[in-house]
Chains A and B, each alone.
Chain A
Amino acid sequence: MTKLIIELTINGKKKKVETTPSTRLLDLIRDDLHLTGTKEGCGKGECGACTVIMNGELVASCLVLAPQADGAVITTIEGVGDDKGLDPVQEAFIESGAIQCGFCTPGMILAAKKMLEENLHPTEEEIKRGISGNLCRCTGYQKIFDAIRLAADRLSSRDGGRGEEDA
């Protein structure tokens, strides 16, 4: 089988990985890099469990070929938060009780984080749209919604209204 070497920056670290043309980014992340926080739920981009942020965009890693990610900057759930503590979105998920089985949680947090990076004052509709690609069967979404709202409120007050001035 043809082998390729690709280079990518994952959670801030540069990695060189040997892969094949037909390996999915999801498999590379899970099987080769053992970052198992990224989950597989359907393999068809329908459930969002494999969501990662690639080059600043939310993507389903099951629908990306590993070589397509050559040179990319990728954030998985393992890259959210740091040594000092959890990301405000993670904190809000814990506080709002937005976690049940936890399988959709990594993808949900990444989708929520990405949305809030772009929009600190999301409307109800914008929050829903932001995570409309992530299925959850346990929570009925309500507490995930509440968590995102909580994170947005905190982030925007921390932001001290700067966002508004910039605009």
Chain B
Amino acid sequence: MEESFGDLKGCQKTYQKTALSQYFAPQKIEEALEILSKYGEEIKIIAGGTDLLVQYYDRLYEINNWLDLKNIIELKKIRISKNQMEIGATVTHSQLENSEDIKKYFPILSQAAADIGSPQIRNRGTVGGNIVNASPAGDLLPPLMAYDAQFKLLSVQKEELIPAEEFFVGPKQTIIKPDQLLTQVILPLPYEKTYDSWIKIGKRRALAIATITLALVVKMAEDNKTIKEARACLGSVAPTPIQIKEIRERMIGKNFNQLDFNQLGQMVEDKISPIDDIRGTREYRKDVAKEIMINALEEVYSSWWRSYK
């Protein structure tokens, strides 16, 4: 709108929008999908609202149609089904933080949720909102990626399961289509011994959007000596949350004592190309990425050591 100051066409469009305003709050996913298929881009989906209302706070009246997910009970559930954890899209950060199952199987997802904003934000903000909003600084995204999450997208026509790494395409950009609804996040339950670490650097201790985040998940083979899987995912260092694949390649099949943490830290620093923004500079982010990678490895190593001995 800023660009159309004084542009009469732009303003008439606004009049019409306001006049036709609609508010939907269906109880069933199917109804929501119907509405989406009808309105497509002409409707805003609202879950917790903690991103959307921030974005539009002084111009909410510009939004003509709303689809409120609050009445869809199905989307609020966390449950274990077979070998996987299913997290409904409107599960709040507080739910993630406090869920015993999440704490048990996906501890750093719970920690990352606990690190978000403030009680007020955690009580309203949702996992689905965090994903679809696709901020490079979205706190839940590196842990989700590190735990190999898949996102379930539904439309009237079809159901899709998209791996987290394929979902994000740019800052605030994802592959989701206007008629699709993110309904679930699916995480494979770890049956291996898993050690993980979450580090968030912000400019203050609460209510801080991340300057840089790191989620490291390491799974051990049955001998609890050989690394079977290792995923290091970072936020706020690229247009999307990213996994440093080279870390995985370097770590799999190795024992901890075969690894040079310093070198792995350097690898992270070398592989990222962050930008300067208000929360941090490129140089700072590169420098500190190395340091937090080393810290994360040390944390993972010491919890492994405790269980090993």
Contact = CB atoms under 8 A, between A and B. Distances in A.
Interface in B107-121: 117-121
Contacts of B121: 45, 60, 63, 133
Given A58-B123, A111-B119, A132-B207, A67 B54 contact: no
Interface stretch (A17-25, A76-84, A97-105): A17-25
Given A21-B23, A45-B50, A65 B66 contact: yes
A95 B205 CA distance: 28
Interface size range on A against B: 20 to 34
Contacts, number: 104
Contacts of B176: none
Nearest to B92: A57
Interface size range on B against A: 20 to 34
Interface in A1-40: 1-2, 4, 20-24
Interface stretch (B14-22, B27-35, B222-230, B285-293): B14-22
A159 to B, nearest CB: 23
Contacts of B207: 46, 132-133, 135
A104 B123 CA distance: 20
Contact of A62 (B53, B61, B63, B117): B53
Contacts of B49: 63-65, 68
Interface of A: 1-2, 4, 20-24, 43-46, 48, 51, 57-60, 62-65, 67-68, 70, 111, 114-115, 129-130, 132-135
Interface of B: 18-23, 25, 46, 48-50, 53-54, 57-58, 60-61, 63, 66, 68, 70, 94, 117-121, 123-124, 205-207
